Amino acid sequence: MSLSIREATDDDWPGVWAILEPEFRAGETYSFARDISEAEARRVWLELPAKTFVCVDGGGHILGTYYLRANQPGQGSHVCNCGYVVAAQARGQGVASAMCRHSQREALALGFRAMQFNLVVSTNEGAVRLWKRHGFAIVGTLPGAFRHPRHGDVDAFVMYKQLDAG
């Protein structure tokens, strides 16, 4: 499959929301309120981050999206944070891997020196496996930090990677 990743535009929002809404409503991977409004989701996904990207196929259909932002202000602003979501029909096709590689290049270009994922839900085994494959390490476990709608309180991981310009 031919994939390209580009910065998101305002016109992309309907396609991005079509991917985010079912993920947020399911409440299994992100800590956003399950009833988050579309306006609030747009604000946190498109307006607050330093940059937001979409991954599209050869026909221009949005298959995934990610944001990139400083994880902390001030003395922690050299570490970035990203959030990724892949459309259900595009999972298992390399979209998340492509976005992860792209996000690391973009982060370096923006001057970030490391990337941290603050709340990787332990039951999201595919994501944990994928981030490890891309060089992220679990640097902390937050016991029972995520209220999973089916599994109850489950652990969440903090995952971290130093970025290499080489």
* pLDDT level of residue 31 (50, 70, 90 thresholds): very high
Query: For 3-162, which CATH class?
Result: alpha beta
pLDDT bracket for residue 164 (50, 70, 90):
confident
Looking at the predicted structure, is the pLDDT value of residue 165 above 80?
no
- Work out the mean pLDDT of the chain and round it to a whole number: 96
- The rounded distance, in Å, linking the Cα atoms of 57 and 93 is 11
3-state SS of the chain is CCEEEEECCHHHHHHHHHHHHHHHHHCCCCCCCCCCCHHHHHHHHHHCCCEEEEEEECCCCEEEEEEEEECCCHHHCCEEEEEEEECHHHCCCCHHHHHHHHHHHHHHHCCCCEEEEEEEECCCHHHHHHHHHCCCEEEEEEEEEEEECCCEEEEEEEEEEECCCC
Q: How far is CA 78 from CA 52, 109, 115, 157, in A?
A: 18, 12, 9, 20
Tell me which residue of 130, 120, 8, 123 sits closest to 64, measured CA to CA: 8
Per residue in 10-22, pLDDT (tens digit) is: 999 999 999 999 9
Q: Answer yes or no: is pLDDT of 166 > 90.
A: no
- The pLDDT tens digits of the residues spanning 118-160 come to 999 999 999 999 999 999 999 999 999 999 999 999 999 999 9
Dist CA 20 CA 46 (whole Å): 12
pLDDT digits (tens, 9 = 90+) for 49-69: 999 999 999 999 999 999 999
Q: Which residue has the tokens 């996000």?
A: 103
One-letter amino acid for residue 2 of the chain:
S
- Buried b / exposed e along 97-124 (16+ C-beta atoms within 10 A): ebbbebbbebbeeeebeebbbbbbbbeb
Q: What is the pLDDT of residues 73-114, one digit of tens each?
A: 999 999 999 999 999 999 999 999 999 999 999 999 999 999
